[in-house]
């Protein structure tokens, strides 16, 4: 058992036995950006299994507050980062509650705040979590398994019009109306319970998977995951709070993977750098280099942005 922020987590999902290891995206660039501000306290707002956190702890003498909604990932992080002792504090929380987490740990501000908005391979590759159509599993998709709302509830209970809205707004799915209609038609006969069942319904509505194209279920699964976890709402709160939780000289470092994530980050950073309080560290988003892309396909859409607070 690991104690993380006053809560115990079952150590069965340990770093040594988990079997699925998330590869930290653009880790060299993240560490370089954080190390340059000579941090004393780093917040990893999406600590996951601890990939970025481990590198930042190795390369700086800072303490680290790690936040994540996924208790299983936090168990892995607890074991992985255990060698750093009291330098590490882990909390199970949504990063929109970053201000409360800092307050609870007695820290009014941080030297650096890092958020990787991508989906962790650790959860994505676990069929029992229901995030992927790659293997059949329950329609779950909860990052925090304490919450009640699941993808199952949305798929089987929301109106056709609400399903269309979710698929359009959160998946940018052009075939949203056809997919929503197919879901409602099928669920009148029987409830949809698994990722495989849902993927089959989607394929039937829009046609099969053509070589070279994305799987037809990709955007629907993204939309449902984002709806279940209120991802855009949480991101909006983080972008509102995080800049004011930085010490002068502190940096906010964010990794985004699709336009729905990157657009609000870009807009908020642009707004902040128009003031006298913040500067952009790079004019454009940084991208993974060719070597990383060759070794980690999931990094291909990553965009890294960073701002620094220069005055209060």
Residue 26's alpha-carbon distances to 31, 171, 218, 303, in angstroms, are: 9, 25, 24, 9
| Strand 63-68, strand 2-4: pairing | unpaired
Classify 12 as helix, strand or coil: coil
CB 308 within 8 A of CB 249: yes
Residue 90 to residues 23, 51, 69, 93, Cα–Cα distance (Å): 20, 14, 11, 9
* Structure-token match 């500067």, residue found: 279
Residue 120: its pLDDT value, please? Answer: 87
- Predicted confidence at residue 301, as pLDDT, reads 94
Report all structural domains of the chain as residue ranges with CATH numbers, in order of start: 2-122+232-309 (3.40.50.150), 130-229 (1.10.150.170)
8 Å CB contact between 197 and 137: no
Secondary structure of the chain: what % helix, strand, coil (to 5)? 45, 15, 35
**Alpha-carbon gap, residue 216 to 204, rounded angstroms:** 10
DSSP-derived secondary structure letter, 149: -
What confidence score (pLDDT) does residue 200 get?
Answer: 96
CA-CA distance, 221 to 199, in Å (whole number)? 9
Predicted local distance difference test score (pLDDT) of residue 17: 39
Contact partners, residue 94, CB within 8 Å, separation at least 6: 67, 69, 144, 234
Do β-strands 110-116 and 246-256 pair in parallel, antiparallel, or remain unpaired? Answer: parallel
pLDDT in the model for residue 8: 44
d(CA 35, CA 43): 13
Residues β-bridged to residue 254: 115, 305
Listed residue (148, 125, 36, 114) closest to 72, CA to CA:
125
Q: What is the pLDDT, as a whole number, of residue 209?
A: 62
Which long-range contacts (C-beta less than 8 Å, at least 24 apart) are formed by 229-233? 229/69, 229/141, 229/142, 229/143, 229/144, 231/117, 231/261, 232/170, 232/260, 232/264, 233/96
**Amino acid 250: pLDDT:** 98
- Successive 10-residue mean pLDDT values, the chain, 312 residues: 44 42 89 98 98 98 98 97 98 98 96 96 94 95 98 99 99 97 98 98 84 82 98 98 98 97 98 96 94 91 98 91
Predicted pLDDT at 208: 66
Which own/partner contact pairs does 174-180 have at CB distance under 8 Å and 24+ positions apart? 175/205, 175/206, 175/216, 178/205, 178/206, 179/205, 179/206, 179/220
DSSP label at residue 145 = T
Provide the pLDDT for residue 189. 97
Residue pair 251/110 in contact (Cβ under 8 Å)? The answer is: no
pTM of the predicted model, to two decimals?
A: 0.91
Smallest CA-to-CA distance from 225 within 171, 180, 184 is with 171
């Amino acid at each position: 058992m690991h104690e993380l922020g006053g809560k115990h987590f079952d150590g069965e999902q340990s770093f040594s036995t988990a079997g699925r290891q998330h590869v930290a995206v653009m880790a060299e660039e993240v560490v370089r950006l954080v190390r340059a501000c000579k941090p004393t306290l780093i917040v990893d707002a999406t600590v996951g299994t601890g990939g970025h956190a481990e590198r930042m702890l190795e390369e700086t003498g800072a303490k680290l507050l790690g936040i994540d909604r996924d208790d299983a990932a936090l168990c892995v992080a607890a074991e992985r980062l255990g060698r750093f002792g009291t330098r590490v504090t882990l909390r199970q929380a949504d990063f929109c509650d970053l201000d409360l987490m800092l307050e609870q740990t007695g820290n009014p501000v941080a030297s650096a705040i890092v958020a990787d908005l991508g989906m962790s391979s650790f959860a994505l590759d676990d069929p029992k979590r229901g995030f992927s159509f790659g293997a059949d599993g329950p329609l779950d998709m909860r990052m925090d398994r304490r919450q009640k709302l699941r993808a199952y509830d949305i798929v089987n209970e929301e109106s056709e019009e609400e399903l269309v809205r979710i698929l359009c707004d959160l998946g940018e799915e052009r075939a949203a109306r056809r997919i929503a209609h197919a879901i409602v038609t099928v669920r009148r006969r029987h409830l949809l319970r698994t990722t495989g069942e849902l993927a089959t319904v989607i394929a039937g509505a829009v046609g099969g998977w053509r070589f070279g194209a994305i799987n037809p279920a990709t955007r629907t699964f993204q939309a449902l995951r984002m709806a279940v976890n209120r991802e855009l709402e949480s991101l909006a709160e983080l972008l509102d709070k995080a800049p004011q939780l930085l010490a002068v000289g502190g940096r906010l470092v964010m990794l985004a993977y699709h336009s729905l994530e990157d657009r609000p980050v870009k807009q908020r950073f642009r707004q902040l750098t128009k003031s006298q309080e913040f500067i952009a560290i790079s004019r454009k988003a940084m991208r993974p280099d060719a070597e990383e892309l060759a070794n980690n396909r999931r990094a291909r859409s990553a965009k890294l942005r960073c701002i620094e607070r220069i005055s209060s």
